[in-house]
Amino acid sequence: MINYRVYGWTDEQVAKYKKMKEKETLMLFGNVSASVQEAMSALGDDLTIYLEQARSQRTRNPVIDEKKEVKAKPKKSITEKLLGDFYTPSHKKSKEPKVDKKMVQKEMADAIKAKGMLFNSKGEPQGLTKYAMSMCWPAYHNFKKSQRLITW
């Protein structure tokens, strides 16, 4: 089953979404342990300033190492070698903290509804939403054709 999500967002909304995701990522780092959370709260705004400086230095002056580190590849079990990407042993599965996605989705939906950008009074898509939906159909159709699925 394929589910496509279509968003008719402006550049400003995309930038706000990216900023929100960065904050969410920092919050997830705090959930790793209590000591990490304490360190992050102690640093406060200094942490965000440091991260912004590091990002700007990375984009301006990419560091090119002449000596590339050769890392030893971890040994794989027989089942990992045989099944490759289709098998992940239980000790390698990551345990990610859960994020309240419903709250984030509700906030985004409220912001979009406030601007009235999704649908007109007849219930038809308008503006960026109409454009995004019109671009979604060819992607769906071409995927089905490439996978030789039924294309009615």
Is 119 in the same domain as 142? yes
**Share of the chain residues as helix, strand and coil, in percent rounded to the nearest 5:** 60, 0, 40
pLDDT on residue 22: 86
Which stretches does DSSP call E strand in the chain?
A: none
The structural domain count of the chain equals 2
Task: Note whether 118 and 148 are same-domain residues.
Answer: yes
Specify if 7 maps to a domain.
no
Report if residue 143 sits inside a domain. Answer: yes
Question: Which pLDDT does position 16 carry in this prediction?
Answer: 92
SS3 74: coil
Q: What is the pLDDT along the chain (152 residues), one digit of tens a residue?
A: 678 887 878 888 889 999 899 888 887 877 777 787 788 788 888 888 888 888 888 766 555 544 555 666 777 777 777 776 666 666 655 555 555 667 767 776 676 666 655 666 676 767 777 777 788 888 888 888 888 887 66
Do residues 36 and 84 share a domain? yes
- Cα 3-8-13 angle, rounded to 5 deg: 115
Alpha helices in 97-126 (DSSP H): 101-115
Give, to the nearest 10 degrees, the angle between helix 11-30 and helix 34-43.
130
Q: Is residue 94 part of a domain?
A: yes
Does the residue 68 lie in any domain? no
Write down the pLDDT at residue 66: 47
Q: Which structural domain range is residue 136 located in?
A: 100-152
pTM here is: 0.41
**Is 8 among the domain residues?**
no
Q: Choose among 24, 14, 6: nearest CA to 111.
A: 14
Residues in the chain: 152
User: What confidence score (pLDDT) does residue 4 get?
Assistant: 81
User: Which residue shows structure tokens 């360190």?
Assistant: 39
